[in-house]
A and B are shown apart, each in its own frame.
Chain A
Amino acid sequence: MRPATTPVQRPGDARLLAIDADGRLRDLPRTRLVQLLMPGDLLIANDAATLPASLAGVHGPSGAPIEVRLAGRPSLDPADVGRFTAIVFGGGDHRTPTEYRADPPPLRPGDALRLGPLTATVRRVFTQRRRIEIAFDARPDAVWAGIAAHGRPIQYAHIAAPLALWDVWTAIAARPVAFEPPSAGFVLDWALLDSLHRRGVGFQTLTHAAGLSSTGDAALDNLLPFDEAYELPDATVAAIAAAKACGRRVVALGTTVTRALEHAASLDGIPRAGSGLATQQLGPKTALRVVDAIVSGTHEAGTSHYELLRAFADDDVLRRADRLLAERGYRTHEFGDSVWVERRRGSVQPRSNLNTATLASRLGQRRTIAPFWIPNESRIRKPSRRASTSKSA
């Protein structure tokens, strides 16, 4: 594969490699994505907006230049911006590959970091180099304003030009809680959502604080993904129940959606609405309990994203897919091409846990707001006279 080097979310020639439940591969234009979803299926996306989480600044005690990359916080609570985990580099910027970036000066708890209009204090230094916890010395509104004014989107050496926020926000971006873009969602625009609606495919969202994809440190990269906070709305849980009750599929748009949904269902296979902190790593041993298929970027073997795909497909299938991706010149990284991977046939979902009656009764006990976009063919919108009329010259 080759890196996608321009920040275009929906290039006209984007490709989609579809891997079905029997391990068959199809190389498709990505515009065919909608046709892979069947009426009644439910597509779930991560609507997190991406923070400008790269903060250039100075290490107070030494005066040395640093780049702080915010990497996590304990919850999505708007007021909970006191503490962040972060990765720190020395001077330089994204144009140097992370593995060659200079280390920061020695950091100690209590050190002050001057980050543009913001000041932060080092609270904790982890055993892995470059990883720390910081606390901002300001009220929440001032922290958000400071990050908005001074931060830059985290980016990597494969894209030289500085990214703007609009480059990394998906069309549906809402709360600014992601540290790197939930880039599988770049495939979305409002016309695609309209196509899903017309086809009777459900669409819902969750909000998941997507973390860093690389730190440049092998030991640290092995720990990825770090803990990620998420929120799963009642409406999304209700739509999952409705889709499962009809034997339809839940399709996750991206690794973050998969991680959040499987974490929210980790107790007994039934996703719980509300807030959570996803701590698990997904891989070949993971039994998927909610997600039937994933739409993701193309990933290289060895990355945590690739490991997650191994929960869906067998290694020999993924190896065949890798060869095809290479042969056909698929692009990788956040602005690259996509894969669609169905959970392998024969991997029995623990259906006993996803018993429809249980789900229905549990949902009945809660004050659940039913989803607005219930996936159902019979509700395909009939175009109104106005809507179907395009202006003639």
Chain B
Amino acid sequence: MNTTLFDRPPLRVAITGGTSGLGLALVEALHARGAAIAFVARNARAVADVARRFPGSHGIVADVSRKDDTHRIALQINAALGGLDVLVNNASSLGPVPLRLLADTDCEDLEAALATNLLGPFRLTKALLGALTASARSGRAAVVVNITSDAAATPYSGWGAYGASKAALSHLSRIWDEELRALGVRAIAVDPGDMDTPLHALAVPDADPATLKRPRDAALDVIAAIEAAWPAPASARTVRAEANA
């Protein structure tokens, strides 16, 4: 299946939160496989550094939690890659740091977590749906990957803003998938597990890194999940087969 997903022409992938943790590991792993990559992050210096490290990749400085950035991001992704096959909504916000009980969480902190973890992925998917469906119509991959967490399923104390926003993102993914299948676009939610990342260090400062998954391994799991979601759903395959007959 590797040969279909990463065959020529290069797979066109956009990754949010691409300068650290899982996002950076995905940039690295996909770059090694010859994918054309655009990545988004807030810090201009970090974006420039990663773009230099992976020649040919396209860095975009923007904040997915800001509505006004949505179309600017979509514009630059489509401009740089000439279209899009895979969108990875990876950028995440923990909510209040250090973690707080829900009863101590400010409304604004919950809103901020929702803006990054739910509204951002929703808006970016919507703005890029034209490109993704164009890919599907051309027989290319068209997959949206939303990075979630086990905190979306298990009610961990102290993880209210993050867990609730990731639960919403998981369900959003399922509804996207239901609605977009007929168009040849898949949407999947992937829980990469507890990783040794800056985000995890913020949440659990005293965790032993040795007990945590390496982002590099999690990136391979995400790529495997994309491959499992592609080729297209059976319905679209059937139509293609009939058309070829």
Query: Which A residues lie at the B interface, using CB under 8 A?
Result: 47, 49, 51-52, 76-78, 140-141, 144-145, 147-149, 164-166, 169-176, 190, 193-194, 197, 204-205, 207, 233-235, 238, 242, 369-374, 379, 381, 386-387
Contacts and interface: CB of A to CB of B under 8 A. Distances in A.
Contacts, number: 113
Contact of B76 (A144, A171, A172, A207): A144
A370 B240 contact: yes
B72 interface: yes
A78 B139 contact: no
A170 B130 contact: yes
A238 B184 CA distance: 18
Nearest to B131: A174
A-B residue pairs, 6 tightest by C-beta? A370-B243, A165-B71, A369-B139, A174-B131, A172-B130, A174-B130
Given A49-B130, A145-B60, A176-B75, A205 B137 contact: yes
Contacts of A170: 130
B240 A235 contact: no
Q: Most chain-B CB neighbours within 10 Å: which of A175, A197, A381?
A: A175
B133 A172 contact: yes
Given A165-B72, A172-B130, A175-B79, A381 B182 contact: yes
A386 B139 CA distance: 26
A197 B58 CA distance: 36
Contact of B83 (A149, A175, A381): A175
Nearest to A381: B182
Given A174-B134, A204-B137, A148 B76 contact: yes
Nearest to A167: B71
Contacts of A76: 82
A370 B244 contact: yes
A169 B71 contact: yes
Nearest to B84: A174
Contacts of A235: 137-139
Nearest to B78: A175
Interface in B38-97: 51, 58-61, 70-72, 74-76, 78-84
Contacts of B59: 141
Interface in B174-189: 178-179, 182-184
Contacts of A144: 75-76, 79-80
Nearest to B238: A379
A78 B81 contact: yes
Given A78-B82, A381-B235, A386-B178, A372 B75 contact: no
Contact of B74 (A49, A78, A145, A374): A49
Contacts of B131: 47, 174-175
A372 B238 CA distance: 9
B172 interface: no
